[in-house]
Structure formats: C-alpha cells, structure tokens
Amino acid sequence: MSADLTRTLHDAQDWLRTHLAERRNPFNAIDEAAARRAIDTLPGTDPVTWAGHWTGIAADFADRAGSQEKSGDLKEAREAWWQAYQFAFLGRYPSPVHPAKLDAYVQARAYFAHATALDDPPVEHVTVPFEGGENEGDTVSFFVARPRGVERPPVVMMWGGIDVWKEETYARGRKLRERGFATLHMDKPGVGQSPVLAGPDAERQWDPVFAWLENSDLDASRCAALGLSFGGYWAMKLAHTHRERLTAAVNWGGGVHLTFQPEWQEKSRNASSYLMDLMAARSRIFGGRTFEDYVAACPQLSLLDQGILERPCAPLLLVNGIDDRQNSAEDIHLSLRHGDPKTARLFPGGHMGTGPVMPTITDWLTARLTKEGS
C-alpha cells in the first residue's frame, strides 16, 4: 500500500508545515501566514474536503482582488489574484483525480490568467490547432511571458512533471526573463491541457508549438527546452528528435531508462515527497488509475529501448539530486554512455537536488542562448 493512503490528518499537516517552512512543492510564492492558517484548520484530506478547503480560501482572495481591481489598485489586485491561484492550485494538488479537484484546477487557471494579465508586459495566452488522433485533443494551449524592453528575445520553453504544470513553472522562469529571455510554458503529455497521453510518440504535441514560434516575435533560432521533474524526460527526448529546432535542452530530474523499469517503480512507489494520490497521479498520465497501470505503461518511454539515446542531440544538460527516490539519478550515468557527449551535474539532496540548481541551469542556458555565447 502506498504511503499516500496511510497518512493521518495530523501526519498530513506535519508534512504540509515542513514543506511550507522549506518552501518546497506545493508551496511556491504563497502567502506564508495564510497558508499556515489553512494548514492548521485543514479538516481532512479526502478529495471533496481537501479541494473545498483550499478553494474556499482562494475565493476569498479572488473577491479581494476583484474589489481592488475595481478601485484601481492594480498592484494589490495582482497579488490577491496570485494568491487565489496559489490556493486553488493546492485544491487540485497533486492531480485532479476527482471531480472536486478538477473544479479546483479550472478555478486555478482562471485566477492565474487574472494575475498574469496584470504583469508588465502581460502574459499572452495562445491556443494552436493540433492534428490529434482518436480520443485526443485538437489544440495545444500554452502561454508566453516576455522580458521587458527586449526585441525578438530568445525563448526557453518550460514544462513541469506529474504535479507541477505550466502555471507552476511561471515563477521558475523569472530568472530567465531577467536575463532577457522569453519563457513559453506548456503542459507535458498526460497532464493539464495537453491533448495527448504520455506515450512513445507524444512529442508530436510540440510540432505546432515550434511552427507557431517560427511566425512569432520571438527568436525561434535561439530556442531551448527546460523540463522539470518528469518533464525533464520530454526535454531530453526533444533534444534528439527535434534537435534542429533546439539550441539547447535541460533534463532537470527526469527519467531516461532505469526510472521506467518495474524494479525502480517498486522502489519508488512510497516516495515521501508525495502527500497523497501518488499512484493515481502517476498512472493518470497514461490514462490509468493504479500502480499496476503505471508500471505496465512506463517501459514504453525508455529512450534506450527506443534507440533515441544513440541519435545526435542538441547540447544537453542533465541535472538531478544524487539521492533522488522518485526518478533514478543513475539514469544520468547511463545517458553519458550513449550518443553525443553531454553536460551533467549531480547536486546534493533528493528529487531535483538542493543548492544552486536553478542558477546553474540559468547560467548554462545563458551561455548557449546569448549571441555572445553562441
């Protein structure tokens, strides 16, 4: 039985308090005092109670934001909308495996749109057609954040993993925008607004995005991919399958081959980095519901078995924590034994590492995307 099914309310509150104090997922740019009060008053962790608790707080922030926007206090309105989004995100966390959590996700997207419309420059939301197959979506949705005062900036495409989606990667992109890069945020296959489930050919969802970039005001000739957590897998695959489109790519904590084997999945099924719904959230990316569904589908993603690792690739950075219990850090060592030379860095800590990980990634991308470094 996975650990997310055995936590008591008291255990869940302790887990939340620890993650809040350390600013770990799922607590990003959230109001700490409000989050602490929410944890203390959390009545339960079943999906209906959980989602209702967090979205109720989100609605209070949204009411405040609407009033502030009407009065012209746009700075305070933006912060209130942002907090409304943060709390609604917690309502759907880690994945909308129940209708109540799905409602929370829809609310979170709406609040996020309100908040980022007040940014300078405002975020642009884009939807492009997608030629999907049977039971697949027919559009790809993403949003673009531009740096101030930069004409035709380079672009870093970003996406997260199983529980952190495009809206949650926005704050991570701030350092990149400060360097003069635009950031393009989308959902990896199997989560959020992705039109496809995870599978051996799901990278085709990026084709219309690359086509959009070619006709945009962004510099498509200087384009990088940055995948976080499970999303790092897709950045690495694109570095091989779409290398002519990418100047560089970063796999930050994603699997490659060993991670997708049944032996590893059995070891990682009780990963302490999850509070609840671990197996439901994981198997949902393939359209399944159980641990068995997930284990059965995972091996098809192996980049080694697909022959992808032997292909030429765009400049590629592999980063993770040396003690990762979600995705095998040994996948980095395996990757270095195949195909083109790559850059790699293992940090202390567990999944995705601790210490100056994002600054390291930002510096590496800067060296490859700036005209001085090219």
Cα separation, 83 vs 18, in Å, equals: 20
What one-character DSSP code corresponds to residue 187?
A: P
Q: Which class for 264: exposed (0-12), middle (13-18), buried (19 or more C-beta within 10 A)?
A: buried
Q: What are phi and psi of 140, to 5 degrees?
A: -120, 130
Type of residue at 88: A
Q: Work out the number of other CB atoms within 10 angstroms of the CB of residue 41.
A: 10
Could you tell me the pLDDT band of residue 272, with boundaries at 50, 70 and 90?
low
> Which residues is 126 bridged to in the sheet?
142
Q: What's residue 371's pLDDT?
A: 66
Q: What is the pLDDT of residue 6?
A: 55
Q: Is 67's pLDDT higher than 90?
A: yes
Instruction: Specify the higher pLDDT residue, 252 or 274.
Output: 252
> Which position has the token pair 């959009």?
212
Number of neighbours of residue 360 by Cβ within 10 angstroms: 17
> pLDDT value at position 271?
66
Q: How far apart are CA 132 and CA 327, in angstroms?
A: 29
Q: Please, what is the average pLDDT of the chain?
A: 94
Over the stretch 138-155, which tens digit does the pLDDT of each residue have? 999 999 999 999 999 999
* Confidence at residue 117, expressed as pLDDT on a 0 to 100 scale: 96
pTM, to two decimals? 0.94
Give the mean model confidence (pLDDT) for residues 240-269: 95
Q: Is the pLDDT of residue 156 over 90?
A: yes
Average pLDDT over residues 63-85: 97
Per-residue pLDDT reduced to its tens digit, 322-347: 999 999 999 999 999 999 999 999 99
**What pLDDT is recorded for position 280?**
86
Q: In the Cβ-directed half-sphere of 306, how many Cα atoms lie within 13 Å?
A: 18
The predicted pLDDT at position 303 comes to 98
Q: Find residue 140's DSSP bridge partners.
A: 128
Q: What is the pLDDT of residue 372?
A: 47
Helices marked H in 47-152 — which ranges? Answer: 47-70, 74-92, 99-117
Q: What is the pLDDT of residue 373?
A: 45
pLDDT at 49: 97
Q: Is the pLDDT score of 5 beyond 50?
A: no
Q: Identify the pLDDT of residue 269.
A: 79
CATH (residue range 120-374):
3.40.50.1820
374 pLDDT band, cuts 50/70/90, is very low
For 349-367, what is the mean pLDDT? 96
Mean pLDDT over 158-179 rounds to: 96
